């Protein structure tokens, strides 16, 4: 069974803080993704990665960066948190480029004050 875990379920941070969201998958998946989900806007892709140390911008990368130092771990970094980054953040992974089914972690609800 695929398991994707995220470091926190709930997080409260202050404006200007640097925020790290961690995601780990245990199924040796090549691909990992970070989304945010907001009411009325659906799931939007922030960044994704197809290999260690590789990253690609998604649809809304501004204000975010990512790190993938190990295959199983994909980190999302908010360099200077702002209130408009209050959201639900979802990490996902998929097996390889030809296998598109994505498996999601439980999500992190981030509140930026």
Partner 1 sequence: RKEVEQDPGPFNVPEGATVAFNCTYSNSASQSFFWYRQDCRKEPKLLMSVYSSGNEDGRFTAQLNRASQYISLLIRDSKLSDSATYLCVVNAFSGYSTLTFGKGTMLLVSP
Applying CB under 8 A, the residues found at the interface with partner 1 are 31, 33, 40-43, 45, 48, 50, 56, 58, 90, 94, 97-107
CB of 6 to partner 1, least distance (A): 9
Closer residue to partner 1 (CB): 37 or 67:
37
Closer residue to partner 1 (CB): 45 or 77:
45
**Token duo for residue 18:** 């640097």
CB of 16 to partner 1, least distance (A): 28
Q: What would the DSSP string read from start to end of the chain?
A: ---EEES-SEEEE-TT--EEEEEEESS--SEEEEEEEETTTEEEEEEEESSTT--EE-S--TTEEEEEEETTEEEEEESS--GGG-EEEEEEEESBTTB---EE---EEEEE-
CB of 40 to partner 1, least distance (A): 7
Closer residue to partner 1 (CB): 67 or 103:
103
CB of 96 to partner 1, least distance (A): 8
């Amino acid at each position: 069974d695929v398991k994707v875990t995220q470091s926190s379920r709930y997080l409260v941070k202050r404006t200007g803080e640097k925020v790290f969201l961690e995601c780990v998958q245990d199924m040796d998946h090549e691909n990992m993704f970070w989304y945010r989900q907001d009411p009325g806007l659906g799931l939007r892709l922030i960044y994704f990665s197809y290999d260690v140390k590789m990253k690609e911008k998604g649809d809304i990368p501004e204000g975010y960066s990512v790190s993938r130092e190990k295959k199983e771990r994909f980190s999302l970094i908010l360099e200077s948190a702002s209130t408009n980054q209050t959201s639900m953040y979802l990490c996902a992974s998929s097996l390889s480029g030809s296998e598109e089914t994505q498996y999601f972690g439980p999500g992190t609800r981030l509140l930026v004050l």
